[in-house]
């Protein structure tokens, strides 16, 4: 028993070393790395010693992460930019090639959701969702796979959402951009395979990131999962590419049920939609109460 344990642990150590060397020195580009999933993946990747390119708009947040990674001896290139901006996307690719000479992995993670009824959604919000989540991803991917084609290797990882299986109604435009990402990945996979490029789609459930705050549906109103666990799974996906990664794992059951039964899909989607709207209303009420409280405090201070 003891002997077996020892050999098992040796195997694990050997496996880990082999896995570590797989990503060592590889150039991994992560968009939307200033918070949430992108940040967690960057930190989780550190032990594999890749060359990391991290990209987002919020410079201060990006530099904080850059400092943490630098302390761990990671070769790093932080780039501040807006994924919707063509010049910024070009800067991302050109600077990466200039500094590191290749792009081995692109993690298309930058994105956002906005919980809103379709009838009430402002046009600018629709533009922002489609441009950020889908259009920019397609354009950045096209430039990147041209480089990967020359290398005859590469891996594209696209962030979709588990909501594509259960399309909750207050996220109509968001869900559509994420379904488009899934279809895009499925459509280019064969063409990319011929050049040694893998394409993966990640379908996360709800995780503890800024997503819910940005989407105006308050994170404390949902059960959310640990983003570090998701990040570790994404790192495993880089070590062993596969077409789809659904997380947490039991969301695969929802995926199966949703494909098999339209009744299930409709019922659960509506239930999730209702709970998102409730959460949004609660978050709005809390904000209103908070604003009124600040106003009262101001009046009191002035009156004193």
Ligand X SMILES: NC(=O)c1ccc[n+]([C@@H]2O[C@H](COP(=O)([O-])OP(=O)(O)OC[C@H]3O[C@@H](n4cnc5c(N)ncnc54)[C@H](OP(=O)(O)O)[C@@H]3O)[C@@H](O)[C@H]2O)c1
Of 133 and 198, which has the nearer Cβ to ligand X?
133
Contact 115, 280 (CB under 8 A): yes
| CA dist list (Å): 96 to 51, 104, 148, 281 | 10, 11, 13, 43
Told to check if 56 binds ligand X by CB under 6 A, we report yes
Q: Which position among 15, 22, 58, 267 is part of the footprint of ligand X (CB under 6 A)?
A: 58
Q: Minimum Å distance from CB 11 to ligand X? A: 34
Q: Is 246 in the site for ligand X (CB under 6 A)?
A: no
From 169, 174, 225, 254, the catalytic residue: 174
The 10 Å Cβ neighbour count of residue 304 is 5
Position among 38, 78, 154, 170 found at the interface with ligand X (CB under 6 A): 38
Label residue 187 exposed, middle or buried (CB < 10 Å: 0-12, 13-18, 19+): exposed
Q: Is 174 a catalytic residue?
A: yes
Q: Does 273 bind ligand X (CB under 6 A)?
A: no
Contact present, 215 and 279 (Cβ < 8 Å): no
Tokens of 226: 């640990």
Is 228 a residue that touches ligand X (CB under 6 A)?
Answer: no
Q: Which is nearer to ligand X, 100 or 174 (CB)?
A: 174
Compose the 173-212 pattern: x for residues touching ligand X by CB under 6 A, - for all others. Answer: -------------------------------x-xx-xxx-
Closest distance to ligand X from the beta carbon of 267 (Å): 21
* Alpha helices, DSSP H, located in the chain: 2-23, 36-45, 59-71, 86-100, 123-129, 136-151, 172-193, 211-214, 227-239, 251-260, 262-303
Minimum CB distance to ligand X, residue 12 (Å): 30
| Residue 216 contacts ligand X per CB under 6 A | no
Shortest Cβ contact with ligand X: which residue?
A: 36
C-alpha span between 68 and 46 (Å, rounded): 10
Q: Which positions from 102 through 121 interact with ligand X, judged by CB under 6 A?
A: 109-113
Kindly list the distances between the CA atom of residue 179 and the CA atoms of 124, 133, 159, 167, 202, in Å, as whole numbers in the listed order. Answer: 20, 11, 10, 9, 11
**CA 198 to chain CA mean position, Å:** 18
Write out the residues near ligand X by the rule CB under 6 A: 31-38, 56-58, 61, 82-84, 109-113, 132, 159, 161, 204, 206-207, 209-211, 214
Cite the active site residues. 174
């Amino acid at each position: 028993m003891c002997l077996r344990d020892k050999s098992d642990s040796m195997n694990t150590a050997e496996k880990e070393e082999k896995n570590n060397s797989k990503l060592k020195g590889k150039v991994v580009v992560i968009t939307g790395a200033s918070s949430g999933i992108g940040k967690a993946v960057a930190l989780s990747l550190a032990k594999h010693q890749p060359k990391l390119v991290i990209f987002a708009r919020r410079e201060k947040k990006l530099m904080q992460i850059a400092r943490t990674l630098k302390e761990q001896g990671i070769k790093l290139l932080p780039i501040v930019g807006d994924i919707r901006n063509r010049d910024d996307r070009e800067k991302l690719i050109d600077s990466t090639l200039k500094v590191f000479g290749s792009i081995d992995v692109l993690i298309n993670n930058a994105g956002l959701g906005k919980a809103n009824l379709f009838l009430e959604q402002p046009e600018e919000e629709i533009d922002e969702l489609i441009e950020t989540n889908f259009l920019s991803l397609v354009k950045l991917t096209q430039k990147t796979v041209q480089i990967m084609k020359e290398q005859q290797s590469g891996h594209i990882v696209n962030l979709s959402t588990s909501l594509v299986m259960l399309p909750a109604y207050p996220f109509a435009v968001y869900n559509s951009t994420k379904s488009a990402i899934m279809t895009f990945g499925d459509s280019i996979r064969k063409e990319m395979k011929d050049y040694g490029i893998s394409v993966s789609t990640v379908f996360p459930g709800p995780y503890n990131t800024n997503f819910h705050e940005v989407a105006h549906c308050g994170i404390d109103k949902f059960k959310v999962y640990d983003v570090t666990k998701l990040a570790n799974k994404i790192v495993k996906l880089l070590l062993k590419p596969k077409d789809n990664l659904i997380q947490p794992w039991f969301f695969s059951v929802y995926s199966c049920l949703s494909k098999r039964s339209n009744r299930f899909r409709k019922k659960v989607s509506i239930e999730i939609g209702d709970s998102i709207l409730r959460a949004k209303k609660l978050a709005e009420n809390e904000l209103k109460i908070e604003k009124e409280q600040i106003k009262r405090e101001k009046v009191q201070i002035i009156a004193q």
